[in-house]
Structure 1
Amino acid sequence: MSALSPARRAVIDLEAFRSNVRTLAEAAAPAETMIAVKADAYGHGMVPMARAALQGGATSLAVLDIPAALTLRDAGIEAPLFAWLHGPDSDFAAAVAARVDLGVSALWQLEAILAARGSARPRVHLKVDTGLSRNGASVQDWPGLVRRAVEADAAGELHLHAAWSHLADASVEDDEAALARFLEAVAVAEDEGARFPLLHLAASSAGLRMPAARFGMVRFGIAAYGISPFDDATGADLGLVPAMTVESEVASIKRVPAGHGVSYGLTYRTEGESTLALVPLGYADGVPRVAGPRASLLLNGRRFPIAGRVAMDQVVLDVGDHPVAVGDRVVMFGPGTAGEPTAEEWADWAKTIGDEIIARVGHRVQRVYRNELPS
């Protein structure tokens, strides 16, 4: 598998990712497609996924913060970038110089951007809170934020480019109520003199199932990586292919008698004489400890359950009498086409979401890219 010892790999299929982006862009059209590459592209690797997103038809990229945007600029990516989570020490001057679009949720952020802009004219997206209760201006603060942005735009100090928000994805009714609040906020802003070239509200969920929320652009996140944003449909149901396969190899094997305890706490004991296979993937690599009693991995074309507790660096498989050798490939999750578990199955086992499963894959798991195109 690899010269690394022990071998742990996350194999990233860039063509699957590009295909997902094309599928999503077609679904969102005529709205433009922004692809989120925050959190190191959900654990896939930000720079290669950013390039692949643009090759697949994305017109812009979303990161979380300014340092991530600057990393993409340093990598030679010239497409529009959008960063929206800022602290009081954020380097707005560097962001403005690098032509990074900035989400603005509060008046202090707008004033800090204006103070740092130099002779440049930054492009800003004003965010209103429509019910998610994270960042975004409150209904009370929204008019004042808009008035200051309109004033600065008229003075040539910034480009007032967009109004935006984020949905809670709690229920259809909640999202429709949030959409109504967003439209009300846009109307208030227009009464204050704002003329937005762009509105954006929908992410993966609404981008696929709520056409009224698409406006001029959809910010696709988890769906681009092949994972469904819904509880009632898999990525495969949506025509998407998971881009990441996490694999390792058997590091050791041992034959044990019936009643033999396995892993911390000896919560698992073999039912009969059996072979145990040690796999060097643990919770430090992203294997959810809580999922252990329900989880399985693919080995030699067959799924085997995890025997006992997930440890920091390893899990043990009880393979019974099935043949196994040191070095045999083991798959934690992948697209599911060869019988391996999917990240969505792991999410079910861990009582979480697929986003967390792929984003938590640890840094010591080597990223390997397939189907790269010239940048």
Structure 2
Amino acid sequence: MRGGLSEAVVDLAAIAHNTRVVAAHARGTVMAVVKADGFGHGAVQVARTVLANGATRLGVTTVDEALRLRGAGVAAPVLAWMYLPQDDLSQALAQEIDLSVASLAHLQGVAAQASAAGTTAVVHLKVDTGLHRNGACPAEWPRLVTAAAQMERRGTVRVRGVWSHLVHLDDPGHPFTATQVNAFEKAVGRARDAGLRPDLLHLANSGAALTAPHTHYSLVRAGLGLYGVEPVPGRTFGLRPAMTLRARVIMHRDVGAGEGVSYGHDYTTGQPGALALMPLGWADGLPRAASGRAQVWLGGARRPVAGRIAMDQCVIDTGRRRASLGEQAVVFGPGTGGEPTVGEWADWAGTTPQEILAGIGARVPRRYLPADVRPLSLDRIPATGD
């Protein structure tokens, strides 16, 4: 860990493998979603890896995220989907970033700025097919596509795509998916009736990319699956978890039976033993809601997190084994060596793996294993400087 207190080791070979798995299932091309700093893995490093292994496009939430990719030399097509109609989009237009358009106001804002800059904005029109979150509602859609066709004829916009989001992201076989597919196809038909000819139609997420080919159209958007979390419960596709989070023990103490641990003394030791202090807390991404259930891998076994997870630290009950100062604890990893997985941490916290991964804080250093080297076990993850 280069002498540090904690690190997140990102296995780029795993991300490369996962990209190839998704691409092999996709009927269309693959857009790799690298928003939220690549789900906490590092957007630039992930982007370069996925583009070398089957993805052809990238997706992010904000224009700033897209510009950071461009600033790092990533030249592949990038779609950004959240901004205000009055936001300054000049750099996005100059850097040839595709923009999602989810309302008439957004379309007018983009077109006006493109006209002022003497350029053509490339847009993907988003339709709401039932999520009721983002995208033009069915009543607004005819006006949006009609206006987009008019602006396309003027040369201020080019409609490259039409897209939407699935409601049941971890259950593509849900009956409502058929309703969404029908709504999506009607929206595409309406766009074509208005004179638009979008090259890219995209609806499928990771789960649908792997299990629902009727949702693929010309492009699938893969997020969670690229990072090695199986996106559909009960089904496995050989995806490899890409992140291992670990930290050093920085203190230890002996305790007797019946001793309360951490805030509120929610946890009480059941027998004489030892405690170890790990310098990771909820400010680093360990969810406080996992207190009382979470475990880590330390000294060849799973050990319970004792009591409440604090802002910067948590306590591990090591039983009768006294941990050594500087010894490494694995918070989560691939699971191949007995360590907890990010999915287990999500279950303990009552949340999703996406929230755990994206929540790993910036003060936890990232270290990258290159795409041509993949560890087979925890023992193969080198601790540089140890």
With the shorter chain as reference, the TM-score category is over 0.9
For structure 1, which segment, 81-90 or 296-305, has the greater mean C-alpha deviation from structure 2 after superposition?
Answer: 81-90
Inter-partner Cα distance in structure 2 for 1:137 and 1:320:
57
Q: Which residue of 1 aligns with 2:14?
A: 16
Q: Which residue of 1 aligns with 2:226?
A: 224
Give deviations 1:46-85, integer Å, cap 9, x for gaps: 1111111112221010011111111111111110000111
TM-score of the two chains, using structure 2 as the length reference: 0.92
Inter-partner Cα distance in structure 1 for 2:159 and 2:260:
64
Q: Which residue of 1 aligns with 2:258?
A: 259
Give deviations 1:184-236, integer Å, cap 9, x for gaps: 11112222222222211111121111111100000001110011222334xxx
Inter-partner Cα distance in structure 1 for 2:91 and 2:222:
26
Q: Is the 8 A contact 1:64 1:83 kept in 2?
A: yes
Other structure's SS at 1:12 match: strand
Q: Which residue of 1 aligns with 2:100?
A: 103
Inter-partner Cα distance in structure 1 for 2:146 and 2:267:
64
Give deviations 1:10-48, integer Å, cap 9, x for gaps: 1101111111111111111x3000000001111111111
Q: Which residue of 2 aligns with 1:337?
A: 336
Other structure's SS at 1:115 match: helix
Q: Which residue of 2 aligns with 1:136?
A: 135
Other structure's SS at 2:306 match: coil
Inter-partner Cα distance in structure 2 for 1:279 and 1:76:
37
Inter-partner Cα distance in structure 1 for 2:8 and 2:58:
23
Q: Which residue of 2 aligns with 1:281?
A: 280
Q: How does 1:201-216 map to 2 (within 5 A)?
A: 201-216=203-218
Q: How does 1:100-179 map to 2 (within 5 A)?
A: 100-117=97-114, 118-169=117-168, 172-179=174-181
Inter-partner Cα distance in structure 1 for 2:202 and 2:346:
29
Q: How does 1:57-68 map to 2 (within 5 A)?
A: 57-68=54-65
Give deviations 1:227-286, integer Å, cap 9, x for gaps: 1222334xxx22101111100011111111121211111122212210111111111111
Q: Which residue of 1 aligns with 2:357?
A: 358
- Unpaired runs of at least 5, structure 1: none
1:191 is the counterpart of 2:190: no
Q: Is the 8 A contact 1:260 1:269 kept in 2?
A: yes
Q: Which residue of 1 aligns with 2:377?
A: none
Inter-partner Cα distance in structure 2 for 1:265 and 1:157:
61
Q: Which residue of 2 aligns with 1:3?
A: 3
Q: Which amino acid aligns with 1:106?
A: S
Inter-partner Cα distance in structure 2 for 1:261 and 1:69:
48
Q: Could you tell me how far 1:3 is from its partner in structure 2?
A: 2.9
1:31 is the counterpart of 2:33: no
Q: Is the 8 A contact 1:169 1:205 kept in 2?
A: no
Other structure's SS at 1:163 match: strand
Q: CA RMSD in A?
A: 1.3
Q: Is the 8 A contact 1:198 1:216 kept in 2?
A: yes
For structure 1, which segment, 48-57 or 127-136, has the greater mean C-alpha deviation from structure 2 after superposition?
Answer: 48-57
Q: Could you tell me how far 1:134 is from its partner in structure 2?
A: 1.0
Inter-partner Cα distance in structure 2 for 1:126 and 1:68:
20
Q: How does 1:228-307 map to 2 (within 5 A)?
A: 228-233=230-235, 237-307=236-306
Q: Could you tell me how far 1:88 is from its partner in structure 2?
A: 3.4
Other structure's SS at 1:229 match: coil
Inter-partner Cα distance in structure 2 for 1:104 and 1:321:
60
Other structure's SS at 1:169 match: coil
Q: Which amino acid aligns with 1:138?
A: C
Other structure's SS at 2:61 match: coil
Q: Could you tell me how far 1:156 is from its partner in structure 2?
A: 2.4
- Unpaired runs of at least 5, structure 2: 373-386
Q: Which amino acid aligns with 2:177?
A: D
Q: Could you tell me how far 1:372 is from its partner in structure 2?
A: 5.3
Inter-partner Cα distance in structure 1 for 2:49 and 2:231:
21
Q: Could you tell me how far 1:124 is from its partner in structure 2?
A: 0.9
Q: Which residue of 1 aligns with 2:321?
A: 322
Q: Which amino acid aligns with 1:77?
A: V
Inter-partner Cα distance in structure 2 for 1:63 and 1:92:
15
Inter-partner Cα distance in structure 2 for 1:145 and 1:89:
18
Q: Which amino acid aligns with 2:202?
A: H
Q: Which amino acid aligns with 1:232?
A: G
Runs of 4+ in 1 over 4 A off after TM superposition: none
Q: Could you tell me how far 1:104 is from its partner in structure 2?
A: 0.5
Other structure's SS at 1:306 match: strand
Q: Which residue of 2 aligns with 1:56?
A: 53
Q: Which amino acid aligns with 2:178?
A: E
Inter-partner Cα distance in structure 2 for 1:88 and 1:126:
14
Give deviations 1:99-123, integer Å, cap 9, x for gaps: 0011101111111111111221121
Count residues with an aligned counterpart: 367
Q: Could you tell me how far 1:157 is from its partner in structure 2?
A: 2.4
Inter-partner Cα distance in structure 2 for 1:321 and 1:139:
63
Other structure's SS at 2:325 match: coil
Other structure's SS at 1:62 match: strand
Q: Percent identity?
A: 44
Give deviations 1:121-178, integer Å, cap 9, x for gaps: 1211111100001111111111111011111222222221111111111651111101
